[in-house]
Amino acid sequence: MMKLKICGMKHNTQKVAAIRPDYLGFIFWEPSKRFFDGRPSETSETIRKIGVFVDAPIKEVLAKIEQYKLWGVQLHGNETAEYCEALRHATVRSSTIETLKRSSKAPKEIKLKIIKVFTIKDNFDFGLLRPYENVCDYYLFDTKGELPGGNGFMFNWGVLKDYPSTKPYFLSGGIGLEEIEPIKKFLKSPESKYCHAIDVNSKFEIEPGLKNIEALKKFKEILKHN
């Protein structure tokens, strides 16, 4: 079954978590209307929390991972493959140090999941993915807009017919209830083979960061049967 990520959490996180999506996205980029600076919230262990960052210093990312117990990070800026590799190593080192402080037993390494975002409009050079193949766990394809994410517009999904990788990806960009038929069509197409999850945000909001619970419930139910 196609997985669901609800991004841009801010005002009604617990109600959204009660819908039991697979992922919740928290934006830690201050210019965003959905910038999250609230207290860490307790959610089901089955819901994976993802922090969204835009060209943030690695030290800042590590602090948020620890504070909010993030399962993964979504990198929405110009982060290089070297940045991704350095973040992964820094995360392992950080977790190892913390484990040693708490116990004399050999520490277990944790592997942070890294999602690298690429924005698309009408076409895309998939050669840009090549440097990231060995340093990221997922890609996320979003619509190219003035700001990173939450622009409310779709890109041309047909571009993905030329997707050269076998790495799973998240599909994002202006997806709402109005896009149910295009989504159904896409999920039956060859280009959806490596689509791991549908990522929704602004089209399920009453205002930035305040999600429409009933609309999300309906969308999840439809997605479950496709």
Mind giving me the DSSP string for 123-190?
---GGGGGGGTTT-SEEEEEE--SSSS-------GGGGGG----S-EEE-SS--GGGHHHHHHHHTSG
Q: Is residue 162 a contact partner of residue 139, using CB atoms and an 8 Å limit?
A: no
Q: Which pLDDT belongs to residue 215?
A: 95
Query: What is the pTM assigned to this prediction?
Result: 0.89
Burial class (CB in 10 A: 0-12, 13-18, 19+), 132: buried
Residue 107: the pLDDT is: 47
What is the pLDDT, as a whole number, of residue 137? 96
Instruction: For residue 167, give the CATH number of its domain.
Output: 3.20.20.70
- Residues 164 and 98: their CA atoms lie apart, in Å, by 39
Instruction: Please give the chain's pLDDT, 226 residues, in tens.
Output: 789 999 999 999 999 999 999 999 999 999 999 999 988 777 888 899 999 999 999 999 999 998 999 999 999 999 999 999 999 888 866 654 454 455 555 445 457 899 999 999 888 999 999 999 999 999 999 997 666 655 667 888 999 999 999 999 999 988 999 988 999 999 999 999 999 999 999 899 999 999 999 999 999 988 887 6
* Confidence at residue 105, expressed as pLDDT on a 0 to 100 scale: 53
Domain holding 99, by residue range, is 3-224
Residue reference for tokens 């708490």 = 102
- If one counts the domains in the chain, the total is 1
Alpha carbons 80 and 12: distance in angstroms, whole number: 33
For the chain, the C-alpha Rg in angstroms (whole number) is 17
112/95 Cα distance (integer angstroms): 10
| Residue 201: how many other CB atoms lie within 10 Å | 28
